[in-house]
Each structure stands twice: as structure tokens, then as C-alpha cells.
Chains A and B, each alone.
Chain A
Amino acid sequence: MSAGTPRSLASSGQKSIQDICHPLSAEESALSRIPDVLNPGSAGERDLILPNGTPVDTSSPASSSSLLNRLQLDDDLDGETRDEQKYNITTEFDLPEYSVRRRYQDFDWLRNKLEESQPTHLIPTTRTEFDLPEYSVRRRYQDFDWLRNKLEESQPTHLIPPLPEKFVMKGVVDRFSEEFVETRRKALDKFLKRVADHPVLSFNEHFNAFLSAKDLNKRQGLALLTKMGESVKYVTGGYKVRARPVEFAAMGDYLDLFTQKLGTIDRIAQRIIKEQSEFLMELREYGPVYSSWSSFEEDLHDPLEGVSGCVSNCSSALEELTEDMSEDFLPVLREYVLYIESMKNVLKKRDQVQAEYETKLEAVVFREDKKTPVPSDVEKCQDRVECFNADLKADWDRWENNKRQDFRQLLTGMSNKNILYYEKCLAAWESLIPLLQDKQEAKGETN
């Protein structure tokens, strides 16, 4: 068996959920080298068995996902031809490494098998199927919601990305309209990407279950909580933190101000969309005036018709601009506001943990019996505080980076949409000029 050095899971980067490397699926680099069509070659190992010897059992969620925690794929680098390309699947956990060789068609077989046994919950999406070896599951919004709650429970010291808004007013928003579905899909996609991108969250078993299990057994949930999660879960409120470290105070302040600014930007964007829509209404009346004028002119007929057509083109361009802004810009802003809300909650929790520690410490400091060692639960508290702080700081830096990228992308996108709008209008008017001048030259010649 060739053994490549196990590498950590590649980051999913900019791919959609369908492309995300599931622990069971091909590694990213391997994927890019998979040819589209492979000759079914000579016998490779056909029966798929789990490396540890147990047959694949897809009936219960616990078995497959909890055992196959981390898988990797290496390209076989022994210079085989493309057709014979085989991929090493390496699993690593507490047991010695297992490595099997699989060919493309084996992945295909696996995928087909999985598809057969996958649930057929309706997900409102219009994505097409992929031919890549990967897990394909169907999930509803409430499944995403479940996942998020589970992540929050099990990783309370981390910043969990937000979901798009849960409740939409019936009658106001058509929950089955293409636009709404698409907007939601994008947000859900982003959510999954962020989770998969997180060094800790991506290994969360709930996440694995979400990506692979036939049935999300939501009621029971998986029994394993992280050590931290369990302890934090039982921290009661009611303690007041005394010495909040400066950096966390600064985070809180920043989040407050930032939320304000985002709110303002949201209002401005909405107002612009409204004004543009009203302008559009006037344009839709303006263009036809030229048309009706042209109907009783002779020489001026064509120029007037031309202007009418131009105005109409500009109207369409404007309509597209406002739609794009509504669909792409506003939801992202709102999502960030939700994100920040959840972040503030994490900060609060951190405060709570610290407060508990401080209180317990205080009680101990004033203990009567100075000889007895510091009780272990106080030490545990201190532990908790320090871990929480560390997790949070790391996550904060990551969040800052993402935020910067996200907003750069968002605002650049807004600029692009506006540029596109003006370019369309420009093209329309520029093409009109020769039409307007046309008769003139003809006239000039006859003169």
C-alpha cells in the first residue's frame, strides 16, 4: 500500500455545498484531475468495505459518520496512466491507518449506492446533479436550523455563522418564488462554506451527520458533546463580570457600532431602490410619449421612435439594477446583522464564564482553611475562561478577515452593478446618434 502522508482536509474555498469535500469524498486536488470519462478497466476492488472491515451500513446515522471521521485521498503518484488512475483513501483516527485503493468508477458506484439510500426530502433548489463522486443529500431549511443549534450547543465558545432569516411573512414574501429560493440558497451555501472552512466546526459530528446521514435524528441528537461544550452548557447566568479584558470590551463596542452602520446602510440601500423604482415608473410613461408623437410626424418619425426605444432600454436596465440590488445586496447586509447578534451572544457567554470563575475564586480566596488546596472546580473554571478566550480571539481574527473580504466583495459588486447599468444605457444612446443624424446627411447630399 502506498502511504502518502496524511494531510488535513482541504478548505472548501469558494465551492458550493455540492462541491464541498465531504470526508468521504475525493480531495480537492484529486478532483481536478479526475477525467470525465474513464475506461472501466481491469478489476479494481469492487466490493466496498470499510477499511476497518465492517461493511458499509447506511441505515443508521451513527455508524458511518462517527467512525469515518476523517478521510483523505491521495493521488497515486506511481506514474500510472490516467485511465488507471487510482486514489488512495486513508482514514485516520484512533486505530492504525487503513489505506485502500479505489478507482473512479468505485466512487461512482459508491455514489450511486448512496443516492439510492438517500432520503428524498424536497429541498427547494434548482441545482443540477454533479457527476463527481460525492455525497448528495437533500435538506430542508429546518435541517439547517437544527444544525446551527447543534453547533451552538456543542461549540459555545466559537462564533457560528448565521443563517438567513427564519421567518418570512406569508403573503408578503412568496416562499416558493425563484428569487426568494435563490437568495436563500446562496445564504445557506455561504453558511455551510463557513462551517466547512472553520478548523474546529468542520470536524463537528453534527456537521458530518448533516452532510451524510440519511435521516437526521434530530430529537435525540448525537450524544457526544465536546468537553467544553458540556461544561459551558451548564454555566448559569446571573454572575456579573468584574474585569472584562480590554480586547473583549473593544469587540463588544465595535460590534455595537458596526451593527448601527450596517443598519444605516441597509436603510440607504432600500431608499435608493425605492427612488429608483419610482424613477422607473416615470420612465415607463416617458418613453411611450415619444412613440405617440412619432405617429403624427413624418420626417421626425424615426428619430422620435428611436428615442422611445432608447428610453425603454434604459428602463429595462434600471429594472435589472434594482432587482439585483434587492436580491444580492440587501440579504448579505441583513445576514451580517444576524451574524453580529450571535457574536454578541458569544461574548456574553464568555463574560458569564469569566464571572463564574471570578465569583468562585473570590469565595475560595476568602476560605477559612488556607491549607486546603484550591478546589479543582475553580481550576476548571479558570481553564474554561482561558480556553474560551483563546477560541474567541482566534475566531475573531478569522471573522475580521472574512468580514473584510465579504464587504470588499459586496461593495465591489454594488459598483459593478451600477457600472453595468450605465454601460447599457450608454450603448443604447450611442447607437441612437447615427440614427438621428442619418436623415441629415441624406438631406445634405440632396441639397
Chain B
Amino acid sequence: MAPKDGTPSGGGSDSRFFNTNKKGEMHELRMELHSTDRNIKVDAVKKVIASMTVGKDVSMLFTDVLNCAQTANIELKKLVYLYLINYAKSQPELTLLAVNTFVKDASDPNPLIRALAVRTMGCIRVDRITEYLCEPLGRALRDEDPYVRKTAAVCVAKLYDIAPELVRERGFIETLHDLISDSNPSVVANGVAALSEISETSGRDVMKISASVLQKLLAALNECTEWGQVFILDSLAKYTPADAREAEGIIERVTPRLQHANSAVVMSAVKVILSYMDVMGGGAHADSIRALTRKLAPPLVTLLNSEPEIQYVALRNINLIVQKRPNILENEIKVFFCKYNDPIYVKMEKLEIIIKLVSEKNIDQVLLELKEYATEVDVDFVRKSVSAIGRCAVKLDRAAERCIGVLLELIQTKVNYVVQESVIVIKDIFRRYPNRYESIIATLCDNLDTLDEPQAKAAMIWIIGEYAERIDNADELLDAFLETFEEEDPAVQLQLLTATVKCFLKNPEETQDMVQRVLDLATEESDNPDLRDRGFIYWRLLSTDPEAAKLVVLGDKPVIEDDTFRLEPNLLNVLVGQIATLSSIYHKPPEAFVVRAKRGATGSDGMGVGDLGDDIEEGDEEEYEDDNDVNRGGGGDDLLDIGGLSMNDNAASSNYGNLGLEPDMFGAPTPSVAEPEARMSKVCAPEKSGGIELWAGFRQVQGAVKLELDVRNISSNVPVSTLAIQLNKNSFGLSPAAQQIMCNPPIPVGGSGRHSVELVVNPAMLVQAPAGQPASPQIQVAIKNMTTGLVFYFAVNFAFEVLFSPDGALERATFIESWKSIDDKKELYGTVSDLPPASTDIDQVAAKFKAHHIFLIARRPVPNAEGQEVAYFSMRTTTGMVFMAELTFKKGVNAAKVCLKTEQIAYGVQAKVALETLLRS
């Protein structure tokens, strides 16, 4: 709300409230706030709010404004509350002063005021306020006025976010369940919304749908507000019907929602029907499924007549739906044809769906459209249209010739990017239909000069190499490219190398010099490891056994397939279940982007996840590019493309580093302290990772931090051979020393393997915990299966003890001094109960701790307390943080008190948790 200087101050406009920049304005405002004239008072509060919204600090007027709340005038009261809510966020302690007003207003005769008080209190995240909230909230939930009840329902969700235990103690969740059958539609809507929210934040299914709840929800569906209908439908979508009959019954109740003017209702109804259709299966219900399929098409198409923003969301969802159930929209391809005035983001999505729906029946129509799009203005759109023509060819055998005809026509236009894009897709067409359309090579060769993008060049060079025997001057063409070999992009260099070798094998006499030159360039001049490695392999192959080289290099390549259905079936199923959520827009499972509300105390740290997105994105584009080509079946890569194995420098060096560091090679191992095993926990279920289950844990080996990964191949048809790993920025600055995990031998279905990834501390990966908040124990990990190209994500809590270094024992005197120097207020303490017997004895505890580099400094009995003994421990992390702990044990009691002191207050909780976990284990 930046006021513009010189805004006319006259008139009845609210902007006059901004013009109070004179001296003593606060004093003036204060006088006005205490005025007895109601209008002056109201205007004064408005001025205060105006200042507040432009970011001025008016907190010094807090008590004066608060005084104004003592009024029966609801307009004034609302303004005061507006002010209060604002400071509730930035200065919660000030709001404590308002508690009395809140409590009083919560039993005001006017329902608007009662609701206002409850709503505002819920927004104030201060424990003291929360205490006072429970009473009025309990009353408000049973208030006679629906406006108050609906406000209270949402307030329960607010309270759950601050103090879940209070919600449980007070039985508010049960009350929310009662509200589902409330007589007022808004109350029902908010009741369902609150329950869904609590289920989501807590991870517990408080919205459990039983037979009676189901009936309540279905009954409410007809009465509810449009938003309430969305919440109910979303809850229904999570429910799994007992059998096909129940599914059909519910669908029947939901179907009328498809004709709602609010697209949100339509979309959620579609979601329910789609997920229940799975339950119905085929067989006896094939007819009902067919009928439903027919019913779903019109509302989906209608969504495309909404505002472009809705269209975009609908199209991203339809993209998933046509992959899951192609027949729903098979006859509707025309509605996805782009309109002249569609925004570009809508056009791009429509194009994607056109390719998915294209068939022998409609290909002529589609080609006509695509050809038209290729003359439009937007370069990205044109390129994508050209590419789409090629994809149609790859998809439809019988139409391939027509598609190629159109591509050739487009090449004739000589428009630079159209030609390049055409070359790129023609390469794919050659891979799909080998030895069928070589006649067009001549046309391509005429356009060599136009090519200046690496991808197009690489594609063209691949074509030259592959069909060298049919191109009279293949060697000359390659020779021309070789002149600029050193300046080329690595992708082009790799293709040049391969193409030259192919050319040589086909026509050895004339190209001997050339192949020698390329091999020299690749192995000696280049510092790209991929290129060098490939060069060496060819060299060795050619020098040892040229016939074998022929078999390998010129061998038959697998024919690529249509990639239109690109989403991996497991992921697709996950995403179809997520229709009408952000997940369905991003085509990523929710874990990949949702900031967990309850991940330790770092809820505020949104940056981290964004970074993860960045990292993965980059990774996809840069490091794994070659690999992507393999996955796509894209043509540029022959069998010797070792992109999938590309080992980056980082990986190589650290592996060697490890060898050098083995300290026990010659010396006697120290058997006294066996290296503790990692505690493994399941972190990734097969549904979201293409059939791979992952268990993860941390341990320290020879002073190095290792992330242990158990990889279990549950249902991935492709054996797991190579994985790439990346960590998001985390509180410990940990990052993998090498990004490659090689499974040797590859893990087939049903198999499993344990791999450990060394983690090193990298300050660039460190996320500082926000001041005054504990560091998050969570480490977010992204794994990419290099064979399938699938990226998946999980989070695992770090085992802090793994960071403790062997030199963590403090001198006794130092310990005492440090212990005393830390304020008792910074102490962290807690009680660990239900200890295993071994953990009640200090000697055994000390031994166990020592294995984890937690050192016993001293122990002594507690004076005047029979049977109690305290032990002091110290530990130091490899990063230099020192922690001191006092453990109190009592004979015959299987519990211990833990008290921890440290200057590194942010990590204190971590150290304490580590101690407690070790005690329990």
C-alpha cells in the first residue's frame, strides 16, 4: 500500500488517511483515539490502519487502540480487531494485553462479535492466549448461531497447528465430526475443511470415513456451499469404497456435480469418479464404466471455455487423464486445437494433449493444424509444433510418410529454427523406422549450413554416421564439421567421434586419416572425461579386433518407441490420485514440493525446498543430459554411449581419496570399538519410486559419515543398476562426496543391496537454523534412477551422533568450567523412560556411548538421594560443536533424566535426541 506523494488529500477517500506525515502525528492520533466522538475515533483507527498497511510501526498506539475495543459499535470493533490481527503476527506478546477483551467479546450477545473474538484469538500464536481460547472455543462450537459455529470449526484447525494436544484433550475433533451433520451448509463446509486440514498436518486419518460418516457426507453434498462440496468431494476421493456396488452408488450421488458452474467442484467430482472407476474394475461393470466415460467428456471439455487460468489447470489435469483413460476424450481432439488468442501457456499444453490423442482417424486434421501452428510468431510454440509432427510420425506407423512430407515442406521454408527442430525429430523417425526414409537425407544435407544448435548438429551428424554408406560424400561432410571440433559442444563432439568411427568401419580406405585425427582429438586434446573414455574404447576396439568393433558399433539398435505416454505407470497412478491438486499441475508427487508443515522446527525455512527443486532441475539438464537421450530412445546415441555411466570428476577423485585414507591397512585394527551399525528406516515406498523401496540410515566409518542405503527392488522390471543422489541443503551442510551409486551386480526384481554413500561437510550446503529455533534434523534426498530416468524424493532424519568425532573427550577442568559458564536457561532437559536393562547401568551406557564417541567425564552419586547417580558426558562434532550432558539414573528405575548444555543452542535438541535414541536402543 505505498501511498503516492501528492495524492490529493481532499474528498471522502480513504487515501486521506495516509496524509499524516506531520510531526507529532502519533500524539495527535492518540488524542483522536481517546475522543468521545465516535466518528473521530473511527477515523483515527482508520488512519492507524492505513499507516500499518504501508509498513509503518504503530505498535506504540497499541493500548490506545485496544481501549477503543470497549465499544458496542461493531464497525469500530472490527477495525480494532483488524489492527490486533496484524500485530498478533509480528508482536504476539503485545496481544496478551487484549486477552480480557477477547474473553469478554467471546460471550457478547452479538454473534458477529462472538465469532470475531474466536477468529482473532485463533490467529494469535501465543501459548497464554491459547489457554484462554479453549473455553470460548468449546462454547462457540456449540453456539446457536451458525456464523459462530463455522468460525469455530476453522478455529479448531488453527488451534491444532499451535497445540494439537489441546485439541485432542478437549475432544474438539469429535465435535468437528458432529458438525458434518450440522443444519447449516457453511458449518458443514468448514467442519470438513478443518478435519481434512488436521489429517494432513498430523498425518493421522482423523477424517476416517465410516459408513455413517459417508452417509453424512453424501447428504451434506447436496446442501453444502460450493466450497464445502469441494472439501467433501476431496475427502470422498481419499475413501476406498468397499466394493463396486458402493462405488457405483457414490458415483451416482456425485455425478450431478459435474454440471456445476464452479470448475473447482467439477474437477473434484471428476477426481472422485476417476478413482472409484478403478475400484469398479472391468468385467461386470464394463457397461457402467463405458457410461461414465461418456459422461466425463462434456464437463472436461467445458472447463476449456473458462478463463485461461482455469484452462491451464484443466489441461494439465487432462494430460494425466488421457494417459490413464485415453478413451474419455478420444473423439474430442478438435477442442484442443489452439485458438488464435490463447495465451502461450495454454497453447503449449494443448499441443501436448493433441499428441496424446492423435490417431490414424484424425491425423490428417491434426497435421493440417500443426502445419498452421508452424507459421505462428512464438518461436517456442513453433518449435514444439514441428517437434509434434515428428512425434506423430513416431507414434503412427501408417501416417509416418504424411508427417515426413509435412516436415520436408517446412524445411523448405529455410526458417532457421524450423529446420533445426525438423532435423532433431527426423533423427527420431530414422530410429523408429530404420531403412525406410533415407531418400530424404539429401534434403537434410542441403541444409547443413543452417544448423547452429548443438542438438540439431548432433542429430545431423548421427544421421550422417548411421547412413554413411548412402551418402556419397559422408566423409567430406564430417570433415567439414571436424574443423571446428574443439569449439563444439560436448554432445556434438561425442557424435562426431562416433560418426567418424562408423564411417571408418564402413569405408576404411578413405577415412583412415580422419579417424586417427578424431581419436587424437578426443583422447589427447580433450579434457572431457566422457569424450576421452569413449575415444579410448573405440581406439582399443579398433586396434584389437576391427570385426568386433563392427559388431559393436554398427550393431542393430533397438527400435525406439512412441514416447507419448511418458509418465511411468506407478507415478501416473499416484498423480491420477492427485488430480485437482498442485501435484497434478507439476506432474510431481506431493513430497517433491510440499513444505512439510511439521518437519521439526524449520517450518519457516521455505528456501530449502526451493533449492532442492533448483538442484534437481539443474541436474536434469546438465549432468544427466546424455542419460535422458538414452531414456527417450532418442537417436543420437549408439550402444557405446556411456552417458548413463558418466562418472563426474568429483566421484572419481573422492573414490581414490578413500583408498588413500584407509588407516588400518597395515596397522592392527582396534577391535575394542566396533563401528556402530546404522539404524535403518524405510524412507521411500515403491509406489513413488518406480518400484524401488529404500531404507536409509547413517553411520560413521573411519571418521567418515556414511549414508547407508538399502535398495530393494520390489517391482521395477528394469534391474536397478545406477542411481544418482543429491541432498538438499540441510542443517549439517552434508552433501554426497560422489553422486553416483553403482549397484554391481544390478538388483533384479525381488533382490536387494546395501550401498553406502560418503557424506562430506560442505559449508555451501549448510542452512542456518532461524535464530532461536532448533536446527531441523531432516535431510531431504533426491534419487535419480539412471536407467529409468525417474527422480524421486524422500526425507530422512539425520542421526546426529554420527557426526561426533573421536577427540570429543574434554578435560575434566575444562568441562566443569564450560558447564558453569553456560546459563541454566539454555539447558535442555528431558526424561527417557522404558529403557532397556542395559541402559540403566552407567558402565554399560558409558561403553555404548564410547562407541559413538560420547565420552564419560565423571560420575558421582547424588548427595541425599539414595540410589541416584549422575554421569557427565562430553562430545564434539567433526565440525567443532561441543555438547555436554548430565545423565541421572536411579537404581531400580528404568528411566533416566537427560540434561544437556551447549553454546550451539540450535543443535542442542539434536544432540539430546541422539543421546536419548542411543539410550533407548
Answer yes or no: are A and B bound together in one complex: no
B-side interface residues toward A, CB under 8 Å?
Answer: none
